Amino acid sequence: MLGTALPSAVSAENRVIEISSPNMRVYLPDTAKATGRAVVALPGGGYSHLALNHEGHDWAPFFNERGIAYAVVAYTMPKGDRSLPIGDACNAVKLLRDSAGVWNLDPAQIGIMGSSAGGHLASTVATHAPAESRPDFQILFYPVITMDKAYTHRGSHDNLLGKDADETLETEYSNEKQVTAETPRAFLILSSDDRAVPPANSVNYYTALLANGIPAALHIYPTGGHGWGFHNSFSYHDQVLDELSAWLKSF
């Protein structure tokens, strides 16, 4: 059951090792600024841990300042059951949509944001979830998209599907192959020198979105590697904020 409690165990490296139950922390903007829009955030961590701060909580002021409600989900690690993180993420979107009247939200403006493996989870919800849990837009930072062993992030693949996953299962969760006309618009952002998650993940997803007539934006910075999130030490931090702000204003 998703609630608003904090995770049960957080290490010094900002990684949740064990979560006693999935939970969500919601940050609401000042009512005078509220636009009715909301974003559900799914931090990354290879489906083995969660980078809760720089890919999660640290983003709250950015969204709230723009009148956007923001919710960080501490989702369950799969440990052999891929339905657990997927179910948590779907439930989070549905919870915000169902609570729209309570939190002054527009149920047709509930987005999802994911980083790295959290980007795979976000794009899985965007391409697989039923209408009540499907987000209205998606924001993906250096996301894992594919489960194709040729260019996936193997840790994410093995932790979600298992080392010996067959090709049928890999295809099902290769989200570049699951885009339809119902998939929500997307914003993708990454660095070209990412050695952890090959840029082809984002490029192929972007191409699939365009092929299906889905509005999409793709931003690739020349350096930065992987996992920079909200760190202001990232050379293009200010540009990231500007690009994301402009995209959010575009619809």
Q: Which CATH number do you get for residue 227?
A: 3.40.50.1820
| Domain assignment of residue 2, yes or no | no
| Domain assignment of residue 1, yes or no | no
Please write the tens of the pLDDT for every residue from 131-166. Answer: 999 999 999 999 999 999 999 999 999 999 999 999
| Domain assignment of residue 42, yes or no | yes
Amino acid at 93: V
| Domain assignment of residue 10, yes or no | no
Please write the tens of the pLDDT for every residue from 75-108. Answer: 999 999 999 999 999 999 999 999 999 999 999 9
Phi and psi at 172, nearest 5°, equal -60, -35
Number of domains within the chain: 1
How far are the Cα atoms of 26, 118, 205, 226, 240 from residue 195, in angstroms, in the given order? 33, 17, 18, 7, 20
Please write the tens of the pLDDT for every residue from 174-194. Answer: 999 999 999 999 999 999 999
Q: Is the pLDDT of residue 12 over 50?
A: no
Domain boundaries, position 222: 16-249
| Domain assignment of residue 123, yes or no | yes
Gap between the Cα atoms of 128 and 178, Å rounded: 8
